[in-house]
Amino acid sequence: MLSVSDLTKVFGGFTAVSNIAFEVKEGEILGLIGPNGSGKSTTFNLISGALAPTRGSIRFGGEDIAGLPANRIAHRGIARTFQIPRPFRRLSILDNVALAAFYGHAEHPAREKAYAYAREVLKLVNLPSDPAARVDGLGAAGLKKLELARALATGPKLLLADESLGGLDESEMNQAADMLAAIRKERGITIIWVEHIMGVLMRVVDRCIVLDYGEVIAEGRPDEVAHDPKVIEVYLGTDAADVQKTVADRAT
Amino acid sequence: MKWAALVVLALAPLAGMGNYPLHLLIMCLLWGFVYTSWAIMGRLGMVSLGHGAFLGIGAYVVVLLWNHAGISPWLGTPIALVLTAVVAFVIGYPCFRFKIVGHYFALVTLALTEVARLVIVALRDQTGGSLGATPNTALADSAWSLGALQFSSKLIWFYIILVAWLAGLWIWGRVDRSMTRLALEAISQEEDAAASVGMNVTRLKLGVTLLSALMTCFGGVLYAQYQLYVNPETVSGIGISLQIVFGAIVGGMFVRLGPTVGAAITLLLAEVLRLAIGHDVHGLDTTIYGLMLVLFIIFMPKGILGAILEALEKRRAAKTAAATA
């Protein structure tokens, strides 16, 4: 469904992403992991059109979308969330999501339809769809849900979930992971999931790609990646045993 | 209530208003229209200091075409509108495309308005330079000329400008209820997130900018034809651009009648100070005027009408809360 090859982004003299290549199959959840500054978010920004690549191609559904503006990529069916939530703070929660439902489709639906769809999505993520509900009242977990709801409201085929779950407690993290799994299962949406904390991600993803210094250093099933010596060296370190245990638990 | 107030306003001049009060009323409505036009984009996070340019194009293009080519304002107005659209596009497109927002956008547009003023001054052979220009009169042997859009009767102007002002408020209402307004609010808060959910940021911003600029240009046409005199300082340049911004903010740019209230207050304040203080101490009236504007903006960021409506809303909410408790 998505095929990235030779993708490179240079900022001045700094190469944030270098010759990345990977594929995403329809219906899978792909984990994109790596230490801070390894190029995960840049990769997302390139795919979603927030940044234009220096070089390389991004093919989505057979067409090259590299360098298209963000709004056109959204219309093609790729939605994203932001690592640090970026809600429209002075609008209601419902308006936040309804705007995505309205503008997220190249042919803008009728306004009532957009609002009806927004309510449906808000219900899915357990947020209030009451027009009086403001963004101000939301905590870290609520803002994450709003990011997700807004992305889903555009009706994506592919969801880029930039989920730094660091600010959440363990049960909230698991909830978020379960929600992504449910979205894939119920809506058939393909997901690329970026995460710093590997344990929770490993429970849900089908496949992982590990980035380091802007390059892909490993790729494979969670159990393979968790035992990859290179991944353990640059990234997992002393957490390796925990992550391996999570993956093993999942198998049983 | 709303309609009753409108009827009173529409009939007021018929009740034998003096020429001077009628002039003030016309000016309140005319500037109310211009400030409303500005606030349509200003309230959405696009603070333009360049509206003097659009006002100047409207005022000067029509007068110059009439004086030098004998082209009627009825044809001159669409020409001025097209020219305004071109200028608004040329300045707006690069700003929006390259994400020039906030203070930088204000500075770019500030430069635009100065360019407009300097061009008018520089082309003094055609425009009359700093001395201004007067449209050739068509009122030599009649009280009015529809073709030249000149009327000696203030009453006619009152109704023309009343209609323009009402149209401005109607447009404000249409924009206010649209998805576009919500989208532009979203864009003003989180531009990247707005683009990521499919909004064409450049196009949405350009759309509202064009609307605002065209309305302002039309205000310039009306101003020139009503006053029958244009001057680079009064229809373009930094002074008038700041006056528009201050007026709209003082009145309250987030509420429909706010810019009009701002126009009325700033205009009447300036007049009262001028009459009360006179010219004994040169510049004292304008100094006090400036100080009062600063105080209003600091202590009433939502504007006078905005603050009043908010206080009323709070009282009503407290009352219903007390009633249900």
| Three-class DSSP category at A185 | helix
Q: Is the pLDDT of residue A152 over 60?
A: yes
DSSP code for B153:
-
Helix (H) or strand (E) holding A250: helix A240-251
Mean of pLDDT values over B302-322: 89
Q: State the pLDDT at residue A164.
A: 64
pLDDT at residue B44 greater than cutoff 60: yes
CB contact under 8 A, B190 and A111: no
More confident residue, B119 or A37: B119
Residue of higher predicted confidence among B43 and A242: B43
Looking at the predicted structure, is the pLDDT value of residue B84 above 90? yes
Residue-level pLDDT at A137:
86
What does the block give as tokens for B165? 């002002």
- How far B45 CA sits from the closest chain A CA (Å)? 12
Classify strands A29-33 and A190-195 as parallel, antiparallel or unpaired: parallel
Distances (CA, A) of B219 to A42, A58, B272: 47, 49, 25
Q: A196 and chain B: CB distance < 8 Å anywhere?
A: no
Q: Among all chains, which residue has been given the structure tokens 């061009």?
A: B119
Q: Does A213 touch chain B (CB under 8 A)?
A: no
pLDDT tens digit sequence for B145-197? 898 899 989 999 999 999 999 999 999 999 999 999 999 999 999 999 999 99
A159: contact with B, CB 8 A cutoff: no
Q: Does B194 touch chain A (CB under 8 A)?
A: yes
Do the chains contact at A88 and B196, CB–CB below 8 Å?
A: no
Instruction: State the average pLDDT over residues A167-193.
Output: 86
ipTM for this model: 0.90
Residue A248 confidence (pLDDT) above 80: no
Straight-line distance from the first to the last Cα atom of chain A, in angstroms, rounded to the nearest whole number:
30
CA distance A189 to A152: 9
- How far CA A64 is from CA of A6, A41, B195, B324, in Å, comes to 13, 20, 19, 60
Q: Is B313 on the interface with A (CB under 8 A)?
A: no
- Strand-pairing partners, residue B150, are B145
Of B317, B144, B285, the residue nearest B226 (C-alpha): B144
Which residues of B are less than 8 Å from A50 in CB distance?
192, 195-196
Across A55-69, B40-54, B167-181, B311-325, least confident range: B311-325
Over range A238-252, report the average pLDDT: 73
Question: Mind listing the pLDDT tens digit for each residue in A190-229?
Answer: 999 988 777 778 888 899 999 888 889 889 888 888 888 8
Nearest residue to B253 (alpha-carbon basis) of B162, B176, B142: B176
User: Of B186, B192, B198, which is closest to A91 when you measure between CB atoms?
Assistant: B186
Class of domain A2-86+156-251: alpha beta
Question: Is B55 in contact with B223 (CB distance < 8 Å)?
Answer: yes
- The alpha carbon of B242 is separated from its chain's Cα centroid by a whole number of angstroms, namely 11
Q: Note the pLDDT tens digit of each residue in A51-74.
A: 999 999 999 998 999 999 999 999
> pLDDT class for A251, splitting at 50, 70, 90?
low
| Amino acid identity for residue B271 in this structure | E
Reported as a pLDDT band with limits 50, 70 and 90, residue A240 is confident
Average pLDDT over residues B208-221: 98
Contact with chain B for residue A80, Cβ under 8 A: yes
Q: Binning pLDDT at 50, 70 and 90, where does residue B139 land?
A: confident
The strand pairing partners of A31, in sequence order, are: A193, A208
Sheet hosting strand A207-212, strand order edge to edge:
A78-80, A158-162, A190-195, A29-33, A207-212, A215-220
Write out pLDDT tens, residues B233-287: 989 988 899 999 999 999 999 999 999 999 999 898 888 888 888 777 777 877 8
Q: Do A80 and B196 touch (CB under 8 A)?
A: yes
Tell whether B185 lies on the interface with A, counting CB pairs under 8 A: yes
Cα of B112 to nearest chain A Cα, Å: 28
- Give the residue-averaged pLDDT of A128-142: 90
Q: Cα–Cα distance between B253 and B305 in angstroms, integer?
A: 9
Q: Is B200 on the interface with A (CB under 8 A)?
A: yes
pLDDT reported for residue B105: 94
From A21-30, B33-42, B138-147, B274-283, the region with the lowest mean pLDDT: B274-283
The residue in chain A having the minimum alpha-carbon distance to the alpha carbon of residue B187 is: A88
- To the nearest whole number, what is the mean pLDDT of chain A? 89
Q: pLDDT tier at A46 (50, 70, 90 boundaries)? A: very high
The residue type found at A22 is F
Residue contact A106–B196, C-beta within 8 A: no
The residue of A88, A108, A135 whose CB has the most chain B CBs within 10 angstroms, and thus the best one to mutate to test that interface, is A88
Nearest Cα neighbor of B59 from B135, B138, B128 is B135
Cβ–Cβ gap B193/A95 under 8 Å: no
**Largest CA-CA distance found in chain B, in angstroms, rounded:** 73
Predicted local confidence at residue A227, as pLDDT: 84
Quick check: B193 and A82 CB within 8 A? yes
Q: Tell me what the mean pLDDT of segment A111-140 comes to.
A: 93
CB contact under 8 A, B195 and A49: yes
B152 vs A: CB within 8 A? no
Among candidate residues B268, B239, B240, B259, the one with its CA nearest the CA of residue B303 = B259
Looking at residue A80, its pLDDT comes to: 95
Q: Using a CB-CB distance cutoff of 8 angstroms, which residues of chain A are in contact with residue B194? A: 88, 99
Q: Is residue B252 a contact partner of residue B304, using CB atoms and an 8 Å limit? A: yes
CB pairs under 8 A between A and B: 81
Q: Which of B4, B35, B27, B67 is nearest to B268 (CA)?
A: B27
The alpha carbon of residue A147 is apart from the nearest alpha carbon of chain B, in Å, by: 9
State percent of chain B over pLDDT 70: 99
Between CA A181 and CA A29 the distance in angstroms is 8
- Cα–Cα nearest to B38, from B211, B269, B293: B211
What's the mean pLDDT when you consider all of chain B?
Answer: 92
